Structure 1
Amino acid sequence: MATEVRVPTLGESVTEATVATWFKQPGDTVAVDEMLCELETDKVTVEVPSPVAGTLGEIVAAEGDTVGVDALLASISESGEAAPEKPKSEAKPAKADKGDKDDKGGKDTGKDKTPAKGGGDTVDVMVPTLGESVSEATVSTWFKQVGDSVAQDEMLCELETDKVSVEVPAPAAGVLAEILAEEGSTVEANAKLARISGSADGAVDPAPRPQAEEAQDSSEDQASGKDVENAPSAEKMMAEAGLDASQVKGTGRDGRIMKEDVQKAIAAGTSEPRTSAPATQASEAKPAASAPRAPVPADDAAREERVKMTRLRQTIARRLKEAQNTAAILTTYNEVDMGAVMDLRSTYKDEFEKKHGVRLGFMSFFTKACVHALKEVPEVNAEIDGTDVVYKNFVHMGVAAGTPQGLVVPVIRDVDSKSFAQIEKEIGEKGKRARDGKLSMAEMQGGTFTLSNGGVYGSLMSSPILNPPQSGILGMHKIQERPMVVGGEIVIRPMMYLALSYDHRIVDGKGAVTFLVRVKEALEDPRRLLMDL
């Protein structure tokens, strides 16, 4: 007797969904409540469990199909008794039984459970979900080698996407039997990275490590004097840089050393990184540059270093060039007297921090001033979609942040409805997450306007580049005392240059100048924000 598997109730006002992933294939044995497939709606992801134990028969709705509520997805042939429970090593097949594409694009049957040498089953290590619109990643670092023992959820490797770094944990305990994607290779979402053999008796023994390596590890453990396990990427970078754990100050939980901590130690001049090996590896990964290079004398070539660009840096370069090629970018400038904001901040900063638990900075003033100006000049907060102009009746403010990995733009959502304290807290929290490389893709998408503060690095004047598809970005700069004429007298005032870059296809010069003047007025007299003037 066959039992039908149908689309469950998806939620209020949701009438259809897309079949995202099948975890089982026709002919696979399934247990009651075992996940069969995953559906995606406009708002949520829904997993569909098996209503009975048996064998999966025909799949009616394939991956990518759009189905309505109660639509038929598949059928299950019931067995005489419940299917046997899966071994522990298969407790997290998560996307290992999905009919994954292998490295050559072929279709996997989803049944690749090859017995290990010692009789234990194998579990596939898959590329995790990378985020909306992200379809591939680069394998940057393997923390384990073939033959190493791994614990469940122990980090195996690190992937780099266009925006963030993703650490891949082990889905089960066992021994790393095979690495399918080497460092430097590009993998697609849901591709296979490696295989882990089960921890059954007689499983593959870990490959013996050289005595020198064991001695080095032992000395590092003794030198660190703590039981906290550092980030694997940090361990690798310290080894390459010739750093000891005692030379690096950890900022992670319980003093854990993170990758960024090592980068800061290297930048501070603690030691010079050993770059010969990585440079050679990068040269092998991409032996030729995108454009022909002039011959380099032998003595100069020996002093050169070739390092492959990270995916984040490649994406930054591509998007900035796309912005220049697509938008009609024009920049208009003005200057603002920051005296009133500085006086207001000085007067209330202690009370503000005591009440809200966060320091009162300049960013909340600029954010509020921009929101005020965007209401009057809405085209600066709009975007072009084909032949349409899409006006946004909300403000999602992107705040550009420099990190050791490159420039990222976390987004503070609905800043037009947030208080000064809420804005300061979110900017501080997202800035810290950006520096730690912990921002998710969702936190960097959907911005409608961007603030870029080059003043923190000492920039006096610059022309920011648009962050597509946005139509405006405001550049803030260094506050510098300059002689100004006020009331017929020359006085020294704290001045800042402001630069608004905008897309001239949608924003006229009058609108851009008006926007910048409104920002200037609001900052020079913050009471205007209170009175909505």
Structure 2
Amino acid sequence: MEIEIKVPSLGESETEATLITWLKQEGEAVAVDDVLAEIESDKITMEITALDSGVLTRVLKKVEDIVEPGEVIAYIDDSVQPAAGASTAIDATTAEEPVKKVAEAVPVEAVITAPVEPKPVKQVAEASVKAAATSAGRKQERVPMSRLRLRIAERLKSAQNTAAMLTTFNEVNLQAVMDLRSHYGEPFKKKHGVKLGFMSFFVQAVSHAISKYPALNAYIEGDDIVYHDYVDIGIAVSSERGLVVPVLRDAHLLSLAEIEKGIVDLADKARSGGLSPDDLKGGTFSITNGGIFGSMLSTPILNPPQSGILGMHNIQKRAVVENDTIVIRPMMYLALSYDHRLIDGSEAVRFLVTVKEALEYPASLSLDL
């Protein structure tokens, strides 16, 4: 009996995706949960896995084809079962000819190495590259943009064209946070199984500031302002496919440990291509950390339809004045970009000052001041 392999749901407002690779070929045996193919939508890359074991008999779509949710892209014959523990075993009586064709068409090395390629984007790009040699022996390469990169470009430009975007800056002394991490970092990791990083403090500080200035957690929709009584913070993550912003839900209710675990989980899924549509939808405010790449200062772009985004930067020891004395402290520049249509400059400045104060005096977060 042939079993249909269908494109899974892509989430809200996503109606199509691009098939970027087949990890199994016609005639290959597959086991339950084997990854058959990967597709890329405007937001994420998803794996299509086998729900039944058998032999992949018919492939209806090729690489770079556009596919839609629910569309049948292949069939599995479940009347032929692979040997236990061997997803690549082929039943010789029913699949001998397809296997022969695959073997003739694809070098053995390719069959062996394709499933363990770190990601298939490179294969797609190499297959699509058109080189133009010049008279000097130099060449140009023209590579089609991925759907994800196209979507990133579209959303960023839309944010600039739509919002009255403005950025305000401040700096924060992170000595208190570093002292807490130094003193409690080891017992924290032993108890919770996760490292105490900087991001959890920033998430809590932002959540605290939002409780005082809820407009930073709202957005404009038509002639209305949509407010939220919850804080879902998007954490910008750089992956080899581009920037994605998975969402940490109900951040205002989470402990430092819960925040750290949530961020690690989202980052791991983003880099392995395991994000689901639900991981990306929504989000009421965003945080981006250019400091991990060495950025000293930047103006982050809003993530529509959100009205605020906080930019973190690298930490540098600088001379500052405390109690009329020059001391060396770990300092970070902060940047808050906001939609001036909704948020007044004074409100944005006070919001950022509240974030700064919460980080410089982190005990205030537990005191709920």
TM-score interval for Structure 1 and Structure 2 normalised by the shorter chain: 0.7 to 0.9
Contact map agreement 1:197 1:203 (CA 8 A) in 2: no
Alignment match of 2:335 (pick from 491, 499, 508): 499
The structure, 1 or 2, with the larger RCO (C-alpha pairs under 8 Å, 6+ apart) is 2
- Match in the other structure for 1:527: 363
Q: What amino acid is aligned across from residue 432 of structure 1 in structure 2?
A: D
Counterpart CA distance in 2 for 1:427 and 1:143 is: 29
- Match in the other structure for 2:24: 144
Contact map agreement 2:46 2:276 (CA 8 A) in 1: no
TM-superposed deviation, 1:278: 4.4
Change in 2 beyond 3 A, CA 1:379/1:278: closer
Within 5 Å, give how 1:43-122 maps onto structure 2.
89=1, 122=2
TM-superposed deviation, 1:383: 0.9
Change in 2 beyond 3 A, CA 1:483/1:429: same
- Match in the other structure for 1:512: 348
Counterpart CA distance in 1 for 2:68 and 2:343 is: 39
Q: Does 1:165 align with 2:12?
A: no
Q: Does 1:314 align with 2:150?
A: yes
Counterpart CA distance in 1 for 2:125 and 2:252 is: 47
Counterpart CA distance in 2 for 1:432 and 1:184 is: 26
Counterpart CA distance in 2 for 1:481 and 1:364 is: 21
TM-superposed deviation, 1:367: 1.2
Change in 2 beyond 3 A, CA 1:512/1:144: same
Q: What amino acid is aligned across from residue 519 of structure 1 in structure 2?
A: V
Change in 2 beyond 3 A, CA 1:506/1:171: same
- Match in the other structure for 1:281: 128
Contact map agreement 1:279 1:306 (CA 8 A) in 2: no
Alignment match of 2:298 (pick from 462, 469, 472): 462
Greater alpha carbon shift after TM alignment, 160-169 vs 318-327: 160-169
TM-superposed deviation, 1:166: 2.1
- Match in the other structure for 1:303: 139
Q: What amino acid is aligned across from residue 183 of structure 2 in structure 1?
A: T
Contact map agreement 2:45 2:275 (CA 8 A) in 1: no
Counterpart CA distance in 2 for 1:343 and 1:315 is: 41
Counterpart CA distance in 2 for 1:149 and 1:349 is: 48
Aligned residues: 356
* Secondary structure in structure 1 of the residue aligned to 2:140: coil
* Structure 2: stretches of 5+ with no match in the other structure: 81-90
TM-superposed deviation, 1:323: 0.9
TM-superposed deviation, 1:143: 2.5
- Match in the other structure for 2:87: none
Once the two structures are superposed, residues 8-52 of structure 1 have per-residue CA deviations (whole angstroms, 9 ceiling, x without a partner) of: xxxxxxxxxxxxxxxxxxxxxxxxxxxxxxxxxxxxxxxxxxxxx
TM-superposed deviation, 1:194: 2.7
- Match in the other structure for 1:393: 229
Counterpart CA distance in 2 for 1:473 and 1:300 is: 47
- Match in the other structure for 1:206: 98
Counterpart CA distance in 2 for 1:310 and 1:513 is: 38
TM-superposed deviation, 1:216: 3.8
Q: Does 1:334 align with 2:165?
A: no
* Secondary structure in structure 1 of the residue aligned to 2:267: helix
Counterpart CA distance in 1 for 2:231 and 2:125 is: 43
Counterpart CA distance in 2 for 1:321 and 1:371 is: 27
TM-score, normalised to structure 2, is: 0.86
TM-superposed deviation, 1:391: 1.2
TM-score, normalised to structure 1, is: 0.61
TM-superposed deviation, 1:478: 0.6
Counterpart CA distance in 1 for 2:34 and 2:235 is: 34
Contact map agreement 1:124 1:196 (CA 8 A) in 2: yes
Contact map agreement 2:12 2:281 (CA 8 A) in 1: no
Identity rate of aligned residues, in percent? Answer: 49
TM-superposed deviation, 1:196: 4.4
- Match in the other structure for 1:185: 65
- Match in the other structure for 1:52: none
Change in 2 beyond 3 A, CA 1:155/1:486: closer
Greater alpha carbon shift after TM alignment, 142-151 vs 423-432: 142-151
CA RMSD of aligned residues (A): 2.9
> Which protein is bigger by CA-based radius of gyration?
1
Counterpart CA distance in 1 for 2:79 and 2:128 is: 33
Change in 2 beyond 3 A, CA 1:170/1:342: closer
Once the two structures are superposed, residues 237-259 of structure 1 have per-residue CA deviations (whole angstroms, 9 ceiling, x without a partner) of: 4xxxxxxxxxxxxxxxxxxxxx2
Contact map agreement 2:125 2:144 (CA 8 A) in 1: no
- Match in the other structure for 1:484: 320
- Match in the other structure for 1:106: none
Once the two structures are superposed, residues 368-423 of structure 1 have per-residue CA deviations (whole angstroms, 9 ceiling, x without a partner) of: 11111111111011111111111111111111111122111121111111111111
Change in 2 beyond 3 A, CA 1:176/1:351: closer
TM-superposed deviation, 1:360: 1.4
TM-superposed deviation, 1:355: 2.5
Q: What amino acid is aligned across from residue 452 of structure 1 in structure 2?
A: T
Q: What amino acid is aligned across from residue 366 of structure 1 in structure 2?
A: F
Alignment match of 1:370 (pick from 195, 203, 206): 206
TM-superposed deviation, 1:170: 4.1
Once the two structures are superposed, residues 117-147 of structure 1 have per-residue CA deviations (whole angstroms, 9 ceiling, x without a partner) of: xxxxx44332222223221110111223344
Greater alpha carbon shift after TM alignment, 303-312 vs 330-339: 303-312
- Match in the other structure for 2:182: 346
- Match in the other structure for 2:7: 127
TM-superposed deviation, 1:332: 0.3
* Secondary structure in structure 2 of the residue aligned to 1:348: helix
Contact map agreement 1:458 1:478 (CA 8 A) in 2: yes
Contact map agreement 1:400 1:407 (CA 8 A) in 2: yes
